[in-house]
Amino acid sequence: MLKYTVKKYCSEGSKVNQIIVASLMVMPVLSYGTAVGWLSPMGPRLMSEDTPAAEPVHPDVISWMASIVYLVGTPSVFLFAFIVDNFGRKKALMLTSFSMALCWALKLYSTETWALITARAIVGFGVSGCYVVTPLYIKEISEDAIRGTLGSLVVLSQNLGNLVVYIMGEYLCYHATLWICLAIPLVHILIFMAMPETPSFLLKSGKVEEARDTLAWLRCRQNTDAMVEDELQRLLLELETKSTGKFFSALKTIVTDRSTFRAFRITLTITIARELCGCLAVLHFASLIFSQAAGGWVLTANQQAAVLGVVQLIGSCTASSLVERTGRKVLLGTTCLVSGLSLGALGAWFWVGSGTAAWLPVSALCLCIYCDAAGLQPVPFVVMTEMFSFQLRGTVTSLVIAFACALVSVELRVFQPIAASVGLYVVFFIFSGVCLVSTVYIACCVPETKMRTIEEIYAELAGKKTEDCEASVTRL
């Protein structure tokens, strides 16, 4: 009923319905963003003498609370891949919100160690759902002209969640923060019931007329419009000419087809660069980092983390406009390079000592987080959806996100112990090195995908130039 009501207020050919659906669709990502940021203000509070738990929480428990999210997220990616392919994008997204609601409810129920770690483990289902479903959903509802902008809403929502929970963690009590965080997924479940399934999945399910109606509503056109019919035929052709879409069949195609495997390898590499740039570790342990770099600042560690959240949000807003203007490759490479340089400067500051230039750690972290939000986080998701057909997107997304979750779970588990034993400067030098090497790879090997068909991208990947440059980067 909502979809037909909204249409009356849309001009012919308007993009407003796509924006409405995308904005509601990323609410689970907003909830996941609050879960990521929650540990920064609440971790130190749980470890303090003023803890809401029965006794101060041990630092090892906090490390497990950070890493178990992605440890659980690794296998649950494949669960969501199965759900998204067999039951639809919409149901998978609502299940994501349900898991996030369960996480917050469990934290409200108990502050015992088992409850805190179990609640964080449930967030693993949330991260899998967010990053398996939302890139597919946006790809399949949006027009080419705004796909990059709508795709950047995913990271924008996560960053908004980080900022919101940083602010709440500074000014609200422990339980009030949890109640507000719980409200976000519950509201999404209620509202998103009125939203449509994607046209591509409806066609896959044999619901051609429903797919036509949904496509017409998304494009704010009559279902008899010639443009709607043309797009519907293109989707049908894509569905019929590609492989069956089953996981193992799709996996075989990825491995055996040379251009497809090269596209997968590129997607996996830029995902590794995104996860090992260190920004996720910074967001989880922002208060800890700022507490060690607090000399000369009047703001508390949590307030400085909130400043970081503001910068991150600004970066996400920048991404929405830059991703369509500069192209994917330029934006990704530039933000990766600047992140590497800023993390190197931060590592040098911790190495030399905190006695001078108290402004440097906050400035370097802000620059790094800005670049992460403006390019490193959103662009790989956009590239991933643009380099693979409908039949392969689910499988590729599952494999890439599962690998990313496994990588991040290790990163977050060892971050605090390594920082405590050898110093933060070692960790930041490693992050910097990953970014700088990745910049060279992006410049040499990653194709531009903006406004290009899959056939055009694969034609470039099939060229000898790409193969040669990958070999040269590997030798670095």
Domain ranges in the chain? Answer: 13-195+242-475
Residue tagged 């507000």 (tokens): 180
Residue 468 has pLDDT above 80, yes or no: no
Residue 177 has pLDDT above 90, yes or no: yes
Write the pLDDT tens digit of every residue in 199-238. Answer: 988 988 889 899 899 989 988 888 888 888 888 888 888 7
Per the CB < 8 A criterion, the answer to whether 319 and 371 are in contact is: no
CATH architecture of the region 13-195+242-475: Up-down Bundle (1.20)
Taking the whole predicted model, whether its pTM rises above 0.85 is answered as no
How many whole angstroms from its chain centre is CA 251?
23
Confidence of residue 244 (pLDDT cuts 50, 70, 90): very low
Residue 474 has pLDDT above 60, yes or no: no
Q: Which two tokens mark 302?
A: 């949590």
Write the pLDDT tens digit of every residue in 431-446. Answer: 999 999 999 999 998 9
pLDDT at residue 189 in the model: 94
- 285: Cβ–Cβ under 8 A, 6 or more apart, which residues? 39, 40, 43, 66, 415, 416
pLDDT at residue 1 in the model: 38
E strands, 106-198, where? none
pLDDT at residue 128 in the model: 85
| Least confident segment among 171-175, 188-192, 321-325, 376-380 | 321-325
Provide DSSP, 401-464. Answer: HHHHHHHHHHHHHHHHHHHHHH-HHHHHHHHHHHHHHHHHHHHHHPPP-TT--HHHHHHHHTSH
- 114: Cβ–Cβ under 8 A, 6 or more apart, which residues? none
Q: Across residues 395-409, what is the average pLDDT?
A: 84
Write the pLDDT tens digit of every residue in 51-91. Answer: 898 889 888 888 888 889 888 988 888 888 888 888 989 99
Selected residue with higher pLDDT from 460 and 290 = 460
